[in-house]
Amino acid sequence: MTSKMNSLGLAKPASATRVVAAMSGGVDSCVVAALLKRDGFDVVGVTLQLYDHGAAVRKKGACCAGQDIHDAKRVAEKLAIPHYVLNYEERFRASVMEDFAETYARGETPIPCVRCNERVKFGDLLALAQELGADALATGHYVKRIVGANGPELHRAADMSRDQSYFLFATTPAQLDYVRFPLGDMRKSEVRAMATELGLAVADKPDSQDICFVPQGRYDSVVEKLKPDAARAGEIVDLQGRVLGQHSGVIHFTIGQHKGLGLSGHAGPLFVLTLDAKNARVVVGPREALRTQSILLREVNWLAPANCVLMCAVKVRSTRPPVPARVTPSGDRSAMVELLSPEEAVAPGQACVFYEENGSRVLGGGWIARAEPARAAAA
């Protein structure tokens, strides 16, 4: 006889179900721990110290450092749950920060939050949760996990303004089987109201805004510190290779950038089209040359069958809505994406995430290796 499923979809009583709650110290993850405790689960709180505890203790808008660790401890004490703080600074530096610097040095635009989820939270932390004998790992991400005919599926959150599915495209089916997202059906306002109702000190705490290891949003200063040879001076050229100016390093530019180029006296506005890190060149041109039709992806992760051409909707930036596209899988975890309507400023190093047409399911995604200009722009 099968036991009744508990609220996490496990066939055992909540009191016999151990759950590791990933507590970053923000309101979302603290509410997750509190809800699990309220529902009778055996909750263990774990906080990862990812970045310079001392330097970040007064830094507003960061996460996984000084003040946040203190807040997570306070909440765990109130909930009367075990709480562990683990120093993952070296792992985080090697798997996320150095990757961030190397990606920028290649002339690409990285997304460190995806790497952190992929390699640290759903890699190292998940393994730790299993070592602790936990039946599941719960996080405060705004996404939904829905069990379909062929197993767990990843879906966009009910609150689309908070949806974080773009940043979780690299979650594997095996990880999805183990991880739970209790906030997927809630709105942020409801989460804060719940924190107030439960008496959590973090109820009114502001959301983190910055990447935790990037002070004041100065990406280039972090790259220069981690990879000093990345800031190599070079030329700014147009599409015909004519030199228009000089620059102090490709790490100071991003695809689609218009301001801060130091160029004037041209017939029309100029935008960064490509970054040639090998030759230390920044290529600029008119806005229409930013239009992209075809995208080559690497390190593709599939959360749905990938044995044929897929008609779906894709996001090429976290802040953009999904657009119709055709995705053709190929060997070596690569894929070609054909956008049915061109998108502007598609940047290598960013992610392209696949969504079900007219639905909420995440079908997979990959890292943008190359973006081909739209035919009209290339002509």
pLDDT of residue 55: 47
Asked if residues 47 and 69 have their Cβ atoms less than 8 Å apart, the reply is: yes
**Is-above-0.85 flag for pTM?**
yes
pLDDT at position 314, please?
98
Read off the amino acid at residue 316: V
DSSP for 211-253 reads -TTSGGG-HHHHHHHH-GGG---EEEE-TT--EEEEES-GGG-
Q: Could you report how far apart the first and last alpha carbons of the chain are, in Å?
A: 67
Residue ranges, the chain, pLDDT below 70: 1-3, 52-65, 209-210, 215-216, 375-379
Q: Which of 189, 216, 165, 201 is nearest to 318 (CA)?
A: 165
Q: Helices then strands (H, E): number in the chain?
A: 11, 17
Q: What's the confidence (pLDDT) of residue 98? A: 93
Please state at what angle helix 27-38 crosses helix 66-79, rounded to 10 degrees. 10
The predicted structure's pLDDT at residue 376: 55
145-151 contact pairs (CB < 8 A, 24+): 145/176, 145/179, 145/180, 145/181, 145/184, 146/361, 147/9, 151/176, 151/177
- Alpha-carbon distance of 100 to 210, in angstroms, equals 14
Q: What is the model's pLDDT at position 196?
A: 97
What is the residue type of 115? R
Contacts of 160 (CB under 8 A, 6+ apart): none
Enter the tokens of residue 262.
Answer: 């130091």
**Whether the Cβ atoms of residue 353 and residue 165 lie closer than 8 Å to each other:** yes
Phi and psi, residue 139, nearest 5°: -130, 170
pLDDT for the residue 59: 47
Task: Give DSSP secondary structure letters for 260-314.
Answer: T----S-SS--EEEEEETTTTEEEEE-GGGGEEEEEEEEEEEESS--SS-EEEEE
pLDDT digits (tens, 9 = 90+) for 184-208: 999 999 999 999 999 999 999 988 7
Cβ contacts of residue 280 below 8 Å, gap of 6+?
A: 232, 233, 234, 235, 247, 249, 250
Q: Specify the pLDDT at position 56.
A: 41
Evaluate whether 197 touches 38 at the Cβ level (below 8 Å): no
Catalytic residues: 116, 212
pLDDT at residue 375, rounded to an integer: 65
